[in-house]
């Protein structure tokens, strides 16, 4: 998949894929202060920009389901499982960051994408398997974020309706117009050529994620203070209010929800490719990962636990829709608006690798097609010209439309989130990072570290299978009473 023999003109035509190119080799320009060792423009990312990208990706819609997930497991297992996921995510992300460069982790050949790292270290059929899982997961995340954004927009509309017309008004809302509006906005932002130009959107999204997480936490504390008691139990939702079978499936689904909340390994290499050096990129990335995982775990524990303390067994699938839509309605509106703004940015952070992969493959397959490779410069007042690529415009627009339509057909937030977490957690967060690290560091088979890594991988595989089963059962249960394109109660 290398294109080292391409002419310089074709390299220029493809320059808008700078960050997410699949092994696009460029002749190095040694001695230049403007270029890195691979001949590309100097990367400018720092520990803080990398942290903002990670926080944007991690503190997403997943935080909203953590109170529900904690309720399924109870006061002991819920927080314990959340902490376990944080440790596993940090550890395997640290392993993955070492694989950014092949061979030597400081001077080796750069891997620009997650798939590049798999190709360099593992090769063979594992590359195709990785690509299939990664890009299906990214596709699913786009659907999940569209659903989550529409739920928050509906919540704003309902809270305002209740405030205006009284609590007795049913205030029925159809979520489809909100999904369409979100999709239209994403079509616009999807025309941003590459990840380097998304830094400002990531920072805005990170601020928004802290905003709604803090409001959710504050509302949970206020509700506990108002009632004067902490809800919940050691074992979670009790059998009786639900059947034994439902208890098992929901407990499994909660594992998927928590796994999804920490799911960002699929874009770690892409984020690392924006980081400048020296110091070595993996050192910066390890620090960024530690900061991000520590911060997000703190928020997750607070939001999940306080939400459970406030609502107990009745904890809602989406924390911010559980405060009755009534008072303080304006604060709930601000929180839900922050969610929407955050998801606009997070959608792009996750979809850019998929966008660039398809565009790179198309450019390689049809190098002489002007529709695919030629950019049209459009002058923008007070800014540099925008390079409009017709293929990018058509393909990314179709992608957003497809994910929006699927979201309208299957708007099951908890089930979709749990299934995405289950499908992506083991292969992308654990298996491939572990296997690549073993190859990178040439760990002897059956050595102590090799055995420990394999045990970790198998344990996480079992968790993923259980979470996937529980999430599928949840979606099937939801389908029994759902009619597509109808108005919600």
Calpha distance 219→303 (Å, rounded): 10
Q: 202: which 2 tokens? A: 């990531």
Distances (CA, A) of 310 to 110, 258, 282, 313, 407: 48, 19, 41, 10, 30
Architecture of domain 47-479: Up-down Bundle (1.20)
pTM of the predicted model as reported, rounded to 2 decimal places: 0.74
Q: What does each of the 489 residues of the chain score in pLDDT, given as a tens digit? A: 334 444 444 444 333 333 334 444 444 454 457 776 666 777 777 888 788 777 766 766 667 778 888 888 889 988 999 899 889 988 998 898 888 888 777 777 888 888 888 888 888 888 888 888 878 878 888 888 888 888 888 888 877 777 676 666 666 777 788 889 999 988 888 887 665 555 676 677 777 877 877 787 787 788 788 777 888 888 888 877 778 888 888 888 888 888 877 777 777 888 888 887 778 788 888 888 898 888 888 888 888 888 888 888 888 777 766 555 445 777 778 888 888 888 887 788 778 878 888 888 888 888 878 777 777 777 777 667 667 778 888 888 999 999 898 888 877 666 777 777 777 788 888 999 999 999 888 888 889 999 999 999 999 999 889 888 888 887 787 777 666 555 554
Task: Evaluate whether 403 touches 183 at the Cβ level (below 8 Å).
Answer: yes
Q: 101: which 2 tokens? A: 């460069």
Can you state the percent helix, strand and coil of the chain, rounding each to 5? 70, 5, 25
Q: 113: which 2 tokens? A: 């994408």
Reported as type and span, the H/E element at residue 378 is: strand 375-378
Calpha distance 216→337 (Å, rounded): 13
């Amino acid at each position: 998949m290398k294109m080292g023999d391409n002419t310089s003109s074709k390299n220029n035509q493809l320059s808008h894929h700078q960050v997410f190119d699949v092994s696009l080799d460029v002749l190095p320009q040694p001695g230049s202060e403007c270029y890195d060792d691979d001949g590309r423009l100097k990367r400018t990312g720092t520990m803080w920009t990398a942290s903002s990208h990670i926080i944007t990706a991690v503190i997403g819609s997943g935080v909203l389901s953590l109170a529900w997930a904690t309720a399924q497991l109870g006061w002991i297992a819920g927080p314990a499982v959340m902490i376990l996921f944080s440790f596993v995510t940090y550890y395997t992300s640290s392993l993955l960051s070492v694989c950014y460069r092949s061979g030597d982790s400081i001077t080796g050949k750069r891997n620009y994408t997650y798939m590049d790292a798999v190709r360099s270290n593992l090769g063979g059929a594992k590359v195709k398997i990785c690509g299939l899982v990664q890009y299906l997961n990214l596709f699913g995340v786009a659907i999940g974020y569209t659903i989550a954004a529409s739920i928050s927009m509906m919540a704003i509309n309902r809270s305002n309706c209740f405030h205006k017309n009284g609590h007795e008004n049913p205030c029925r809302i159809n979520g489809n117009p909100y999904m369409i509006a979100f999709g239209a906005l994403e079509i616009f932002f999807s025309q941003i050529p590459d990840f380097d130009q998304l830094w400002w959107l990531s920072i805005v999204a990170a601020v928004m994620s802290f905003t709604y997480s803090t409001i959710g936490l504050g509302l949970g504390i206020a509700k506990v203070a108002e009632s004067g008691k902490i809800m919940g139990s050691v074992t979670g939702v009790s059998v009786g209010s639900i059947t034994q079978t439902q208890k098992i499936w929901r407990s499994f689904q909660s594992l998927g929800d928590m796994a999804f909340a920490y799911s960002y390994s699929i874009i770690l290499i892409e984020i690392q490719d924006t980081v400048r050096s020296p110091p070595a990129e993996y050192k910066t990335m390890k620090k960024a990962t530690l900061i991000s995982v520590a911060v997000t775990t703190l928020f997750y524990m607070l939001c999940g636990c306080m939400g459970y303390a406030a609502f107990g067994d009745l904890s809602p699938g989406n924390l911010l829709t559980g405060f009755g839509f009534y008072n303080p309605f304006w604060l709930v509106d601000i929180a839900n608006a922050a969610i929407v703004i955050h998801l606009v940015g997070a959608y792009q952070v996750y979809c850019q690798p998929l966008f660039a992969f398809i565009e790179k493959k198309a450019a390689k397959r049809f190098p002489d097609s002007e529709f695919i490779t030629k950019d049209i410069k459009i002058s923008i007042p007070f800014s540099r010209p925008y390079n409009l690529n017709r293929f990018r415009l058509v393909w990314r627009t179709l992608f957003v439309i497809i994910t929006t339509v699927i979201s309208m057909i299957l708007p099951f937030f908890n089930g979709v989130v749990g299934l995405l977490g289950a499908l992506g957690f083991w292969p992308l967060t654990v298996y491939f990072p572990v296997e690549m690290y073993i190859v990178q560091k040439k760990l002897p088979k059956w050595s102590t570290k090799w055995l420990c890594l394999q045990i970790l991988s198998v344990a996480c595989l079992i968790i993923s299978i259980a979470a996937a089963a529980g999430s599928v059962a949840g979606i099937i249960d939801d389908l029994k009473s759902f009619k597509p394109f109808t108005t919600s109660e």
